[in-house]
Structure 1
Amino acid sequence: MPVHKRTLLVVDDERPILDSLASLFRRSFEVVTAQSGQAGLELLRSRPVHIILSDQRMPDMTGDEFLSQARELAPDSVRILFTGYADIEAVTRAVNRGKIYGYIAKPWQAPDLETLVHQAAQHFELAEANRRLTTALQDSNQLLERKVAERTRELEELEDYRDSLLRSVGWGMLVVDLGGTVKSFNPAAESMLGFAAGNVESRRYTEVPGLAPFIEELARSLLSGNPGEYQETELATAGGSPRYLGYVVNPLVVRTGERKGAIVSFSDITEKRHMELQLNQSEKLSTIGQLAGGVAHEINNPLGVILGFTQILLKHGDMTEANTRRLQNVERQALRCKDIVSSLLKFARRSKMQVQPLSVNHVIEETLALMGRQLEMENVRLERDLAAGLPDIGGDENELEQVFFNLVVNARHALVSSAPERLDNLVLRIQSKRAGAWVEVRVSDTGTGIPAPLHEKIFDPFFTTKEPGQGTGLGLSVSRGILRRHGGDLLLESTGPGGTVFLVRLPVPDRPISPIYVEPAPIAVAPKGLRILVVDDEDDIREICADYLGEQNEVKAVASGLAALEELKVRPYGLVLLDVMMPELDGIATLERARQMGVRCPVVIMTGKTDERILAAESRLDVLEILEKPFSISELERVLERVSRAK
């Protein structure tokens, strides 16, 4: 790549946008700006410009008109249009008349625009390299014709020059003559495509399987002689990981105008593709987190009703011993469901590392609680060998649960995808022990093992042996990253026909890690005779709260935030229990209005999912407590005790 900066011309009639784009790109480009199409054309007449970025809507001329004229003044420039979503016709004109490289719709995001402009710069460099190489070959051919007497010697010099030139460039170069025979195949091409020049040169390009992605464009170029457009393609490699190439096919023309063949120039854009995939994956994970929160709300409300009425019956019901035992079973299973939903939400949330003293065995058990039922349904026998008395390690429980979750999921996949004759021997084993300054956990399976050629690749991001849609290839890479942030590591200890063993290593701290200290609250008695307002759009949740709290307090229950505000206008309350997710006016907005009205009584927020908005409101709106659904009767009692202490 040249060491000097390429010139980027930005044309827009709004000065703030020009200044913003100049600031965004000045580190990578020499940026010049114009506030009108005419001013932009004057700049193009006075100096070389390599990349042009133009707005569509300008007073003196439209962006597509400007780019059409700019193409005549700077035909080698790479042109980009940014426009509104409705300007499809303008984009079409810009493509047909201005031969634009691309366009981006407003409102654009800075990372998207940066990616497009840097891709345009790469396109310019590649096209310029093709022009330089074509010119060099044209000059060489003319020199060869003028010196017929020295033909043999000069031909050797020309071949040496060409080979040196092809070897020196970082792009892959493939030269094909008019008959379709491969004439040159440089070392960069060998590296990217994975086969030697000797297996390609002197063969027709249609007979070389590895050149399949270029066949259509080569045929077009050899037939028409027209320059090609930049394209991208995916290649399968011997190692199993896909490789992505960006390429251009152009005619090979000598100075006399005679066409000699076609030249393919290509570069490896795999890393760029991986970055795009990582961004897409991040967006998917964000969507999953939102979905999990919504599902939690829908599950937690009916679960809270089951748990609440069960506990009320257990506390006050006059039942036989058998019915009491049955209700206790209902309560226990409801609490188990509550723990499962809570564990699911832990995976949906993202937060900074919260280092606490942790029992590795406890983290493993929490993870297995999520997967145990699925393993049982798939006939996978789970074997635990967790050493007693292991020292606590310092770590983030959510992140370490993610590590063990990924390892268990991978082991399960290895087992259930085994050959049918192995289905009676599906064993997933987890062992923990202390090994000097480390706590070690081995996760093993009796699957078919990992092939030896893949051992070095399994920790690479996006590498996966699963079928499309069955995995992202991020699990092991992310898990190793988490463990290394904890000072540990993830290793493939052994693999073979008898299965695979992964080793997790976590350091034992030199000295005990202090947990976050929470001062114990003084013992308080739940107040009586309190006026309480319950706000929830779920009828059964309101009924549970009213049933229990109404035994010794005056309770009013309403179904919406608007009804709550009307109630708070006419009488004072000693406590408000306020749901967050409600139609028309949600809980946070209701509390904001109530505080503006001068309501200062304690408020407890009820929610199936605690997100950043709720946490921010906790201090801003003086929330007494966040009560996560489904809550138990004992948690309601604790809330009343806090109200008593707050008086």
Structure 2
Amino acid sequence: MSRRKKILLIDDDSDMVDIGRIIIKRAGFKFVPAATGGEGLAKVIAEEPDLIILDYMMPEMNGLEFFNELKQNPEYSLYKDTPVIVLTAHEDEQIDQTPLFESGLAAFLIKPFGHRELINVVENVLMMTEIRRKNAELKEEVKQTKYRYRDLIENANDLIFMLDNNGKINFVNRRLNDITGFKQQEWLDHFLEDIVIPQDKQIVEEAIFEAKHGNPSQVQIRIRDQQNMIRYFSANINPLTENKKLSGMVGIARDVTEKYNLESKIANLESFTQSIVTSMGSGLITVDRERHITFFNTAAEEILGLRAKDVLHRSIDDIFKNGENTTLLPKKDQNHDPVFGQEMEISNTAGNKVHIGFSRTPWLDRADHFLGTIITFRDISESKRMQIEMVRMDRLASLGILAAGLAHEIRNPLAGIKTMAQALEEEVADDDPQLEYLHRIIRQVNRLDELLKAFFSYARPRPPIKKLHQVQDIIHEVSVLLAKRLLAKKVAFKEFYPKNLKPVLVDLNQIQQVFLNLIINALEAMPKGGELTISAKNIKARTVRIERRGRSYRKPQEKLPFVEVSITDTGIGIKPEHFECIFDPFFTTKPRGVGLGLSIVYRIIEEHGGEITIDSEIGKGSTFTILLPTEG
């Protein structure tokens, strides 16, 4: 590590010393103060500073006297080349600067000045001093070992060239032929700006301009070789001075073509990889060892509803809550073993649950050092929904067959029981107390007969005879039947339909049964009265029919026209855990319910190629949403 430069500040003004200390230390230099010229000379010997900043006007010994003493007194001969910057509050014309600069003064700065201005001057003086020192050493070495030095330059791995004051090449080493195929004579007496490709001409012109003003430059240039192929160079162009005058420039250029080509390949590969992970259909999240998210692709944004810019560099524990974070990435996973084929529910920004299938693999470098974790996942909500739907339909089909068989076997004995009970009813006197038993038998037989009719309707539904009907006309027929019950239940009935509502292609009787069942359920959910609202609108939804055991299921594909009918009540609501089984046969929460009403509704809607879904909140009510096909 290079040592920090030490700066000696000589000034009789204590405030100036304090200010200088702050500025110089903040700039990273060591600070040495002195209040007088004599004290300053003593500290030159004691501290051996790299730079002296000197106030011109001081008691006992002014700046000129100090400067002459430092340069001329043999006692300070070892330090006479220490660069000196003179500060003064006087105008330029009041002080003759010529003898100071002739004696080797580095810079002359007039108060007041800004701290940045002072540091710039200090850094420039130190840099120029270092350059002069190196140039002087180089010149001395050249004088002493001219031939050895030239041989070293000629056989250097880098391209070394020299320019005159106008930027014309007057020397180039043999490396030129190895790199470009050109002979040295082919470059001599040519301007460097004419050697590089036209696009880099201005870069070279600016570098030469800086060198002419004593400033070194580092530039990236391109040169065509003898085969007309572009080669890339990282070049340093430095000024050469003799007696403080520019005598030319020296350039050292390293061939970085292979490095550039490798970096280009890496950049292209990174871009290619970035394009893949960005456009892939699965979500991809990378997490570092501190559990901070370092990558979040487009699919992850779409699945989770989060934006990459909002989650990058944040902890995964801040983004995913309620145990979702530890399911995705356990905190105590010290073995970093890969995990595949896991499933979980995760919340998106809309507050909805998304079912995802995910895998987790360690992120390792080339030396197998652990860098973090890669999590890939995909939205399997639709697959899960279809699995549930398939199970439900299989259950419906199986139970339907069973129900049909039971209904057939039970109906004949029931008919005999009812006939005999009715016969006994005619023979028993009206005041006989046993007559009530017969009445009860007949009522229970009738109840069983109604149940069997429901079984038959569920087990052997007839194919729908579809015709075009207006939804509002179907609802009107049903609402007339239920008008008295609506009034008795103190339920306000509201309907909303747009003027351009399309007709639906349905079986009138079956769809009436659907709305009848749903409205009756809504009334039963509002024992203390409430509000029942039915609305409809035209929409397009993606549905495609596929067959499984003769039953129909849907998967997303193209959008088809439907009428969406929503039936909303303000009743007691349905528990979320009942959503998945509410359409299953024989599922009911009613004390005297059979559990076939919504199963029949579901089956009818399925037979029509539609869809029924539910949304409910306990204490606020429920909404059944039905999709019915239109004529298209």
* TM-score (normalised: structure 1): 0.37
**Larger helix fraction of residues:** 1
Q: Which has the higher contact order (CA 8 A, sep 6+)?
A: 1
Larger Rg computed on CA atoms: 2
* TM-score (normalised: structure 2): 0.38
